[in-house]
Structure 1
Amino acid sequence: MVEFNEIDFLYIEEGQVRIKIPTFEKVTARAPVFFNPVMELNRDLSVAALTTYQHQKDDDITICDAFGGSGIRGIRYAKEIEGVSLAVVNDLNPLAVELANENIQENGLSNVKACREDANLILRKCKGRFDVVDIDPFGTPAPYVESAAASIKAGGLICVTATDTSALCGTYRKPCIRKYSAKPLRNEYCHETGLRILAGFLSRTFSKYKKCLDFLFSHSTEHYMRLYALVGKGAKKTDESLENIGYIAHCPKCLNREVFKGMAPRISLNCPDCGEVWNVAGPLWCGEMQNSDFLSRMLDVVPDLEINQENEVTKLLEKCLAESGAPPTFYDVHAICRKLKISAPPMDGVMTMIKEGGYMVTRTHFNPNGLKTDAPLSFIEMVIASYK
């Protein structure tokens, strides 16, 4: 086993903290202590989200970072967010715990505690103690959601990251079925489908404990997906929430798609537009994924944060805010043009014509060529084909 004094380290500054991290050539779970510099944007967004949550709660909050690694996320929470009475940085790796303790001392914090425990065990043992549970593992979060659902209190905030996007997006279908009990789709909007599969899995798992989720902010960025949801409680609320579980049927031939709500809805075998057999994804979350009020409040707090990637954070939040209220899935204009065998017109021009037709339309953070709209596919094709 690698000893702590055998590891080479360097210091980095991120947000308001100075962190000691191991040197590495490649980000991998086999590193002596895990740290991923690419996730700085993720951590910046998390600080903004938890700051917004704390403002809304208007009280001190307790946080569990179940996969602490170097401790950077939990330490940033404790130092950069006012009203954090305790942040627990947990990791099963003893080297990570030792490094996290050094980083806590380096930043002069007394409201952070590093501990060595299995993520499921610490959540079970500390049932009802945490206002915020953050699950950010290397790979799938699926094995830890049950413990989070059982332990987090009503009114709490659950934050979940998934880096197994190849499964959620349908490159590897069987692992998605095995881990999330849902069938993915590999198509132009597979990242949104994957995010909705993750949300649906969370919602179904929490429902066992008569808890429901109000999704506040969600995004798919680079190699990972991230969700933030407020936890509600009560059988009636949970039953109503589960009405947002359903399926997306996609036609691979004409690109038509339909949403079918319900755990076991009646789904026609063929696309009504062209007769091709549907490809079906789900069960997944068909409801709202972006809360406009919460995102607006996040945008308000961003200028007050000391972060390196303020522009990237703001751009992503603005795109997600624009998506709030839009229907599930989006249309890839280039995919439609390939079907029509024509060149792609300017996106802004297409959007203007769709709006003039009386429909809502917005860009999406999932794809620079994607449009979210309530216009039917036939109208979108007419707009694209007639654009001059």
Structure 2
Amino acid sequence: MATTESITVPEGFVVHRENSAHILLPATDGGKEAFLNPVQEFNRDLSVASIRVWSEEADRAKEARWKAKLEAKNKSNGTEGKGRRGKKRKVNEESENVANGEHPVEDAKENEASSSKIVEEPAQAEDAMAVDAGEPAPKVNSDDTLATTEAGVLDETKKTPKYYPQKFVLLEALSATGLRSIRYAKEIPLVKYVIANDLSASAVDAIKRNVDINGLGAPAEAPPPIDPPPSTDAVGDGKAEVEVQDAPKRKQVPKAKVQINEGDACSLMYSHRPEKLRVDCVDLDPYGTAAPFIDAAVQCVSDGGLLCVTCTDMSVLATNNYPEKCFSNYGGIPVKAEYCHEAALRLVLHTISTSAGRYGRYIHPLVSLSIDFYVRLFVRINSAPIEVKRAASKTSTYYVCSGCQSSYEQPLGKIVEKTSEKSGQVNLLYRQRAGPPVGDKCPECESVLHVAGPMWSGPIHDVDFVSKVLEHVDGNTGNYGTATRMKGMLTVAKEELQTPFYFTPSRIAGLFHTISPSLEEVSNALLHAGHSVSRSHALAGSLKTTATRQDVHDIFRSWVKSHPVKQEKISSTSPSHFLHAKEPRFEANFSHHPQTATHSSKVKLVRYQQNPTSHWGPGTKAASGAKRKRGDGEDKS
């Protein structure tokens, strides 16, 4: 048995370290016990940073609401007893209170802390294992009201209400080695506890072993209370008085920071569907598709809670090889075009949105990234029927040209504002859209159109949230092994336009059979034409713009005039022939535009994965550790 620093390594195991966590892996099983892909350290780093920022922002919002309620209560108490008798009574009461060492202003805050309730907060899980011995126990007043709120509790020494940070519960449904859960428990300060679940018996054994060596398991039970001391007779007025001291009470044993569960992921999440049992954050990171777990996940997340989803089945999401499989998993048809990776993100968001809508819930995407061989999404879940009605207007099908890859959007719904002539009140009407937006053939190149979707057509990032995550990473670079790449990808995501889909100048230049202009030259022409431009995080050398594909083609038609093409070598039936046949509607200006240089182009950023090892990629699925109905515990941890 070897020893590495303070870790005792059993024979046949090796230590794998990642940031603050260290786990034991069998030295010879080749990943059969539980799956771990070291390449996905970037996924885990990004998850720690995003969940931490989300929890801190939610806590700040709760504290602000708690202070506002406390201030409102104090003001209302200050206006009571306006009459002469009331004022006299109030002065007498205050004088008496001060004489007794009490402070009326602080007592008003105490009453506020005992009676206020913040109804917008996400509910915490309230099962037996949710008790945190380190948190203050609620006080009970004489009128049977709790002297604590969801956010604050009385400080007994100062008699003033005090705000306590809101801890949250995180559920990792598919934990494998437990590395991700361990990092969450150790690196996110506001985590109350993490539920690490897996269906595989061997994976659960690995989780227990790794949780214990990181000091996150349940401590040893407290010893039983000692017997009470013998009674003593105190002789006073001739009567014997028996004084028996109370027996010391057993100390409450703190619960494990990582609580391990062996079972089906969906069954576990469905058991947390009741509002009082919901968890605040759910992480789905399966080997392959997360589709079977999304319905259960959106139901067990509390209002304002966070859902984190990874899907690695990019052969289904980002190609047209298995459209029937994509439809069965995600309810949409994939895109066969160079922007297929962004379409994959939008297909997964569509699945989450429709699943949430069945239960009167809606989604707010915070960060949605296409990374290497998978997609990773962070989505906030809320309940509001009025917002569910807007989902159709954020969902679209697309007609994608098989020749020039132009896309034509067909939203499923629209919102119409109707103002009443009498009252002037504005009512929102939800209607279906007219269509289709295009004919049988592509108007640009006369090629056949293919239908893709339906998929999410709304924003895929929250710019403010991405900015806060980026700020956090900038201030904690040493805490993340992939901080350099995190900065690069988050910077590009922050600047990225919210319009669907991107293009690469080299691809369009190939359609025109001309030399390709640079990214800067294309950006200059688009900006001079009055359009916005950004990069896309999903593909190197790509651009996003508010211009139509026809506008982009007109820029290349202008480019061809100064970079002639041999038309005789172009077939009369090819898409290129039809693209060249049209005259540009404007003359493109390729000279420098002051807005061309964005922040991401000014600094050296690592936005795309460098090959860490030979033959790197998704890895091989772990073998089942026991006979199970399905292996839903095999993930990338």
Q: Which moved more, 1:237-246 or 1:214-223?
A: 237-246
Secondary structure in 2 matching 1:216: strand
- CA deviation after TM superposition for structure 1 residue 174, in Å: 1.7
Give the alignment partner of residue 74 of structure 1, picking from 163, 171, 181.
Answer: 181
Q: Show the 5 A alignment for 1:298-309.
A: 298-302=469-473, 303-304=475-476, 306-309=479-482
Query: One-letter code of the match for 1:132?
Result: C
Query: One-letter code of the match for 1:276?
Result: S
Give the alignment partner of residue 407 of structure 2, picking from 233, 253, 257.
Answer: 257
- The change in CA–CA distance for 1:25 and 1:363 in structure 2 (over 3 A counts) is farther
Give the alignment partner of residue 276 of structure 1, picking from 447, 469, 485.
Answer: 447
- CA deviation after TM superposition for structure 1 residue 352, in Å: 2.3
Correspondence for 1:136? 285
Contact 2:395 2:456 in 1 (8 A): yes
Give the alignment partner of residue 84 of structure 1, picking from 188, 191, 201.
Answer: 191
Correspondence for 1:232? 382
Q: Show the 5 A alignment for 1:22-61.
A: 22-23=26-27, 31-58=32-59, 59-61=166-168
Superimposed CA distance per residue, residues 197-221 of structure 1 (whole angstroms, 9 cap, x where no aligned partner)? 1110110111000100000000111
Give the alignment partner of residue 177 of structure 1, picking from 327, 330, 341.
Answer: 327
Q: Show the 5 A alignment for 1:124-273.
A: 124-127=270-273, 128-170=277-319, 171-262=321-412, 266-267=435-436, 268=438, 269-273=440-444
Deviating 4+ runs (over 6 angstroms)? 24-27
Correspondence for 2:495? 322
The answer to whether structure 1 residue 369 and structure 2 residue 518 are counterparts is: no
| In 1, Cα distance between equivalents of 2:495 and 2:402 | 27
| In 1, Cα distance between equivalents of 2:174 and 2:512 | 48
Contact 1:184 1:194 in 2 (8 A): yes
Contact 2:392 2:411 in 1 (8 A): no
Superimposed CA distance per residue, residues 231-250 of structure 1 (whole angstroms, 9 cap, x where no aligned partner)? 11121111113320111221
Secondary structure in 1 matching 2:541: strand
Contact 2:536 2:543 in 1 (8 A): yes
| In 2, Cα distance between equivalents of 1:345 and 1:102 | 56
Correspondence for 1:116? 262
- The change in CA–CA distance for 1:174 and 1:384 in structure 2 (over 3 A counts) is same
| In 2, Cα distance between equivalents of 1:368 and 1:15 | 28
Contact 2:503 2:544 in 1 (8 A): yes
Secondary structure in 1 matching 2:350: helix
The structure showing larger relative contact order (alpha-carbon pairs under 8 Å, at least 6 residues apart) is: 2
| In 2, Cα distance between equivalents of 1:7 and 1:379 | 66
Correspondence for 2:422? none
| In 2, Cα distance between equivalents of 1:17 and 1:291 | 30
The answer to whether structure 1 residue 341 and structure 2 residue 513 are counterparts is: yes
Give the alignment partner of residue 19 of structure 1, picking from 17, 23, 44.
Answer: 23
Secondary structure in 2 matching 1:366: coil
- The change in CA–CA distance for 1:8 and 1:262 in structure 2 (over 3 A counts) is farther
| In 2, Cα distance between equivalents of 1:367 and 1:385 | 24
Tell me which structure has the larger Cα radius of gyration.
2
Correspondence for 1:10? 14
| In 1, Cα distance between equivalents of 2:28 and 2:537 | 31
| Equivalent residue pairs, number | 380
Secondary structure in 2 matching 1:150: helix
TM-score normalised over the length of structure 2: 0.57
Superimposed CA distance per residue, residues 169-219 of structure 1 (whole angstroms, 9 cap, x where no aligned partner)? 123222101211211122111111111111101101110001000000001
- The change in CA–CA distance for 1:153 and 1:290 in structure 2 (over 3 A counts) is same
User: Relative to total residues, which structure has the larger helix share, 1 or 2?
Assistant: 1
Name the % identity. Answer: 30
| In 2, Cα distance between equivalents of 1:23 and 1:262 | 53
Superimposed CA distance per residue, residues 140-190 of structure 1 (whole angstroms, 9 cap, x where no aligned partner)? 111111111222111110111101111111232221012112111221111
| In 2, Cα distance between equivalents of 1:70 and 1:308 | 19
Q: Which moved more, 1:340-349 or 1:266-275?
A: 266-275
Query: Cα RMSD (Å) of the superposition?
Result: 2.1
Superimposed CA distance per residue, residues 299-339 of structure 1 (whole angstroms, 9 cap, x where no aligned partner)? 0111325111100111111111111x431011121110110
Q: Which moved more, 1:352-361 or 1:131-140?
A: 352-361
